[in-house]
Amino acid sequence: MSKRRLISFDWAMKKLLRSKANFEILEGFLSELLKEGINILEILESESNKIDRSDKFNRVDLKVKNDVGEIIIIEVQYEHEFDYLQRILYGTSKVIIEHLKEKEPYADIVKVISVNILYFDLGHGDDYIYHGTTSFKGLHNNDKLQLSDKQQHLYQQQQIHQIFPEYYLIKVNNFNDKAKDTLDEWVYFLKNEEIKEEFKAQGLTQAKRKLDILKLPESERAAYERYQDDLHYQASMVESSYTIGTIDGKKEGIEQGIEQGIEQGIDQGIEQSKKEIARKMLKTIDVLVISSMTGLTETEILALKEE
């Protein structure tokens, strides 16, 4: 079964997919993911669209507009980022604000779809593709809020979730490399940078032809290889930092545990000695006197008498 070694998707987004001649590759991916035909009108500039990885170390964004006026943000993330969910919320909110002109009604707010290709484990979940939407559910009747007829006419949409941002999280490393459908074929490519000959997903035929590393000019190929080396280096740095932090944390925990154990043992020993002394004194000395001498409460002393 033959495979092809292809350019990684994030590099393709920065260098090749921004060309209108290559829109069909990106359109194929989005069509398979969103389960509808996507036609891209234009690539929109964003402050995150920077070619040099060092300019924005851990993100690659591509912002496109389709033929129905929706804006789709595509982002690739390699390094762990625990507040990533808040970051994608910020990203969609910023796009909405950027594209709502002054004095325009709220009805003109643009629909934003956030597609996130993740090479780290975000949250707790075993699936490899998650889809997030907004809906409103009744607290008493458990019904789902719907758009009125006038609102459907205003928004040109049938459901409330269609006017709010949507989020797709593709957890690439969770994929088991078994492509069961055409979307899985794309995820296989995202994970392995390879396309099997039998794959039929939209856009992959064009990707086979246009993303072949061997077809890159020599200067482009050298730049791509440097970029890949940088990815490996950054991954090693993250892994090393995590390992060192784990070892130091365990060592510190053991030392603290020993120290706390010693302190706890001494405290328990002192407390036990007090009780032994109090137990012997009960035979001849008043409870109040014993309490003042040992620091034990009257209740604790009387309990010793009953033991």
pLDDT per residue as tens digits for the range 56-76: 444 557 899 999 999 999 998
Over range 143-156, report the average pLDDT.
94
Which amino acid, 71? Answer: I
Q: What is the dihedral of CA 226, 230, 233, 237, to 10 degrees?
A: 160
From CA 293, how far away is CA 288, in angstroms rounded?
Answer: 9
| pLDDT for residue 267 | 72
pLDDT one-digit tens code per residue, 127-136: 999 999 999 9
Beta strands (DSSP E) in the chain are 40-44, 60-66, 71-77, 112-118, 129-132, 166-171
Element (H, E) at 30: helix 23-34
Weakest-pLDDT range from 30-39, 50-59, 176-185, 283-292:
50-59
Task: Tell me whether residue 159 is exposed, middle or buried, using C-beta atoms within 10 angstroms of its C-beta: 0 to 12, 13 to 18, 19 or more.
Answer: middle
Tell me the pairing of strands 71-77 and 112-118.
Answer: parallel
Residue-level pLDDT at 295: 72
Mean pLDDT value of segment 156-165: 94
Q: For the chain, what percent of residues have pLDDT higher than 70? A: 70
Looking at the chain, the whole-number percentage of residues with pLDDT higher than 90 is: 42
Phi, then psi, of 113 in degrees rounded to 5: -120, 120
Using the predicted structure, report yes or no on whether residue 245 has a pLDDT greater than 80: no
pTM of the model: 0.69
Which residue pairs, CB below 8 angstroms and at least 24 apart, start in 15-20? 15/51, 15/220, 16/210, 16/211, 17/62, 18/43, 18/62
Does the pLDDT at position 1 exceed 60? no
Contact criterion met (CB below 8 Å) for 25 and 12: yes
Encode 55-89: b = buried (16+ Cβ within 10 Å), e = exposed. Answer: eeeebbbbbbbbeeebbbbbbbbbeeeeebeeebe
Express each pLDDT in 269-290 by its tens digit. 777 776 777 666 666 666 666 6
Average pLDDT over residues 247-257: 67
**What mean pLDDT is predicted for residues 252-272?**
70
Comparing 63-72, 78-87, 162-171, 206-215, the range with the smallest average pLDDT is 206-215
pLDDT (0 to 100) of residue 85: 93
Would the pLDDT of 250 be above 60?
yes
Q: Which long-range contacts (CB under 8 A, 24 or more apart) does 225-229 make?
A: 227/11, 227/53, 228/8
Q: Does the structure show a pLDDT above 90 at 151?
A: yes
Q: How many CB atoms lie within 10 A of CB 41?
A: 13
User: What's the average model confidence in pLDDT over 222-239?
Assistant: 59
Taking residues 74-92, what's their average pLDDT? Answer: 89
The mean-pLDDT minimum among 37-41, 137-141, 145-149, 273-277 falls in 273-277
Distance CA 199, CA 161 (A): 32
* Closest among 87, 68, 57 to 169, alpha carbons compared: 87
The pLDDT value recorded for residue 14 is: 74
Of the candidates 78, 23, 114, which has an alpha carbon nearest to the alpha carbon of residue 236? 78
Rounded mean pLDDT, 100-119: 91
> Do the strands 129-132 and 166-171 form a parallel or antiparallel pair, or are they unpaired?
antiparallel
